[in-house]
Amino acid sequence: MNQQILQEETEQTSLAEKKEDAFATDDTLGIITNIQMFSLNDGPGIRTTVFLKGCVLNCKWCHNPEGMKRYPEVFPNSKKCTGCGKCVEACPAGAITFPKEKTPYINKDLCITCESCVDACKFDSMNLWGVFVRAGDVLDSVEKDKLFYDQSGGGLTISGGEPTSRFEFSLALLKGAKERGINTALDTCGYLPWEKLETLLNYTDLVLYDLKHLDPEAHKEFTGRDNALILENAKQVAEKGLPMRIRVPVIPGRNDTVEALAKTAAFVAELDKKGEVLAVDLLPYHPYAGAKYRLFGCDYPFPAEEKFTDDDIMQFVELFTDQGIDVTVGG
């Protein structure tokens, strides 16, 4: 399984990747999409959540398309675009066209992330997602709110994307935060070699662990990956004794059956016996992500409009509480 991870297909060549290669010897360099201050949903207390770019999974319902690829990307904002075509003229790679009215399309296979279109647009409709940062600079920003962390029991959470896909950078953030006396939380899908995950856990106070489906075939169909490594790592995290919050997205037609969620609840109960599961965060699907995809000029690959009723949610909750597990809804 570890060999499979080490043999992942490489991403497309771009100027952004070449820039990253130039810093290959600098373990403190990473790419982030956002630093969210005063976050209240990513662990206890008041926290700062750092969102890293890049994910090893490809969940069809993902609400954050800007965080999936490992390299910086340009996304159009269709609400601001006037259709002037300046971006098309500026692009040296011929990557931009207008197949839809006033919605530029960027061919990611051709885009070299040179940012010429960003500079050419006078209406701020072309936006670069993903900036290169050093861990020390991020930590300096995070540390400014240490008083709030100390008073509320909060701290730093690293999320994504998938933060473990940037292992060295994540390690620098977690280790640096602990050196500065800041509580740490790691939000992860758990898809990486245990040796690396365990190294990160040595500097982690709380693990926010995603469980999307217990069935291996369904998990691979919906996320692009088998779940064997994820489940095994979850067991080892529990055995290590670290506090865990299990995050379960509930997706229509994917894992929203009583049978599927009951299996997840039983698995979480076993984790709790091995270690310390503080609670399960049920994250019911909502269709709002489609608006973000459309804003970016992209087709949403999971256009389900179904919404769960209060009775549905209560039934989901009871599957976990019947196992003696505390539950929150929505994070």
Please give the C-alpha separations between residue 273 and each of 5, 43, 182, 236, 239, in angstroms, as whole numbers.
29, 22, 29, 12, 9
pLDDT in tens, 232-269: 999 999 999 999 999 999 999 899 999 999 999 999 99
Q: Which residues of 79-114 are buried (b: 16+ CB within 10 A; e: fewer)?
A: eebeeeebbeebbebebbeeeeeebbebebeebbbb
Q: What are the DSSP calls for 248-265, one per residue?
A: EEE-TTTT-SHHHHHHHH
How much is the pLDDT for 15? 52
* pLDDT band, residue 306 (cuts 50/70/90): confident
Of 163, 54, 75, give the one whose Cα is nearest residue 121.
75
How much is the pLDDT for 98? 85
Please give the C-alpha separations between residue 309 and each of 70, 108, 252, 286, 312, in angstroms, as whole numbers.
36, 38, 12, 11, 5
Query: For residues 126 and 185, what is the distance between their CA atoms, to the nearest angstrom?
Result: 33
Sorted by sequence, the CB contacts under 8 Å of residue 223 that are 6+ apart come out as 57, 58, 59, 60, 212, 213
How much is the pLDDT for 207? 99
Residue 51 has pLDDT above 50, yes or no: yes
* pLDDT band, residue 56 (cuts 50/70/90): very high
User: Residue with structure tokens 């088998």?
Assistant: 226
Of 46, 76, 144, give the one whose Cα is nearest residue 292.
76
Query: For residues 56 and 161, what is the distance between their CA atoms, to the nearest angstrom?
Result: 8
CATH of 27-69+132-329, one of 1.10.150.20, 3.40.630.10, 2.102.10.10, 3.20.20.70: 3.20.20.70
- Looking at every residue in the chain, the average pLDDT score rounds to 90
Q: Where along the chain do its domains lie?
A: 27-69+132-329, 74-129
CATH of 74-129, one of 3.30.70.20, 3.20.20.70, 3.40.1160.10, 3.90.1150.140: 3.30.70.20
Query: For residues 144 and 249, what is the distance between their CA atoms, to the nearest angstrom?
Result: 32
More confidently predicted of 96 and 21:
96
Please give the C-alpha separations between residue 193 and each of 1, 137, 141, 174, 331, in angstroms, as whole numbers.
8, 28, 30, 18, 27
pLDDT in tens, 106-151: 988 899 999 999 999 999 999 999 999 999 999 999 999 999 999 9
Residue 182 has pLDDT above 60, yes or no: yes
Span 204-214, average pLDDT: 98
